Amino acid sequence: MKVFVTGASGFIGSAVVKTLIEARHQVIGLARNEESANKIKEMGAAVLMGNLENLDSLKEGALLADAIIHTAFIHDFTQYARANEVEKAAIDVMGEALRGTSKPMVVAAGILGLPAIDGITTEESIATNAARSSEGTALKWAQEGINTSIVRLPPSVHDKGDKGFIPFIIQQALRNKISAYPGNGENRWPAVHRLDAAKVFQLAMEKSARGALYNAVGDNGIELKIIAGLIGEKLNLPVGSVSGEELNKHFDWMSRFIAFDCLASSLKTQEQLGWKPMHLDLLEDMRKNYF
């Protein structure tokens, strides 16, 4: 299949591109500048210049391809509402371009903050008033007959070269000279290796089940105090709890969701897609690649 990938040069999107090419799909990667274009070309994919705000480029990519995998997001958490609106408009224009076709579109969403069912976030957990609207937008198109499915990603999609939440927590530990965790530190975050996540996107596209929800989860939930303990050990820093204003100061913009508790399951995803996480878990990856 010829697959249009947004975010193709990014941390997750580049893994998706490589996984698709290894599975003998052709890829058209969206590139916002020459640097991104060169990365995409080096992976063996074709390039379409544009970005999430250039709706014409998104429409063109959707029309050129047999399938879409959407991984792009503007990762500016100081302007989250605007980034969310840009993404919603991007999904809408691609969904409209697929009207009257059976082309699959797989959309990335987040798992943190979804409601738990009997204490566990499963594929049946449905987002209500979610901060990021990609899942709700994609499901709206599925209800309108567009062949859309959703891959939910944990807060930590990890591998060498990660620039996400875990590196930020490490950076704040160095800056504040303490490896901190929120409250009692017993809140849990799920995680997945980016190559395992990329495989979920590939299989979701190939299976093409309209309205399907997949949880790309490797580690079901790691306590924040365990993550903080490993950081303290590796950096030779004290480990301790922060709360209230101290928490806000230490974690900065991340303080809004650092205390979320999310024990998540991917059992149904594994059964439906024939997928199993195969790569390093988060703590092993941190020990090997993060310090």
98 and 171 co-located in one domain: no
Would residue 63 count as lying in a domain?
yes
Q: Which residue has the tokens 């105090």?
A: 225
131 and 200 co-located in one domain: yes
124 and 184 co-located in one domain: no
232 and 118 co-located in one domain: no
183 and 89 co-located in one domain: no
One-letter amino acid of 2: K
Burial bucket for residue 115 (CB in 10 Å: 0-12, 13-18, 19+): exposed
138 and 232 co-located in one domain: no
173 and 30 co-located in one domain: no
Contact between 30 and 4 (Cβ < 8 Å): yes
Would residue 23 count as lying in a domain?
yes
| DSSP label at residue 66 | S
Would residue 18 count as lying in a domain?
yes
Question: Which tokens belong to 205?
Answer: 């596209």
**Range with the poorest average pLDDT among 28-42, 62-76, 149-163, 196-210:** 62-76
Would residue 289 count as lying in a domain?
no
**pLDDT at residue 13 in the model:** 97
Domain that holds residue 243: 165-188+222-256
129 pLDDT higher than 70: no
265 and 135 co-located in one domain: yes
Looking at residue 241, which CATH number applies to its domain? 3.90.25
Tens of pLDDT, residues 141-188: 999 999 999 999 999 999 999 999 999 999 999 999 999 999 999 999
Helix/strand/coil for 220: strand
* Cα angle value 41/83/243 (rounded, 5°): 115
Helix/strand/coil for 110: strand
Question: Which tokens belong to 101?
Answer: 């076709």
Contact between 21 and 40 (Cβ < 8 Å): no
**pLDDT at residue 43 in the model:** 97
Number of helical H runs and strand E runs in the chain: 11, 12
DSSP string, 221-290: EEEHHHHHHHHHHHHT--EEEE-HHHHHHHHGGGGGTTT----B--HHHHHHHT----S--HHHHHHHH-
Looking at residue 15, which CATH number applies to its domain? 3.40.50.720
**pLDDT at residue 142 in the model:** 97
88 and 149 co-located in one domain: yes
CA distance 48 to 184: 48
Would residue 40 count as lying in a domain?
yes
What are φ and ψ of residue 23, in 5° steps? Answer: -90, 10
Total domain count, the chain: 2
152 and 29 co-located in one domain: yes
**pLDDT at residue 131 in the model:** 65
Would residue 288 count as lying in a domain?
no
Tens of pLDDT, residues 3-53: 999 999 999 999 999 999 999 999 999 999 999 999 999 999 999 999 999
**pLDDT at residue 130 in the model:** 67
One-letter amino acid of 18: K
74 and 23 co-located in one domain: yes
**pLDDT at residue 26 in the model:** 98
Give the C-alpha distances (Å, rounded to integers) separating 206 from 3, 60, 244: 11, 21, 46
Helix/strand/coil for 150: strand
Contact between 9 and 31 (Cβ < 8 Å): yes
Q: How much is the pTM?
A: 0.95
Would residue 139 count as lying in a domain?
yes
Tens of pLDDT, residues 104-128: 999 999 999 899 999 999 999 997 7
Would residue 150 count as lying in a domain?
yes
98 and 83 co-located in one domain: yes
- Please report, to the nearest 10 degrees, the dihedral formed by the alpha carbons of residues 207, 210, 213, 216 taken in order: 30
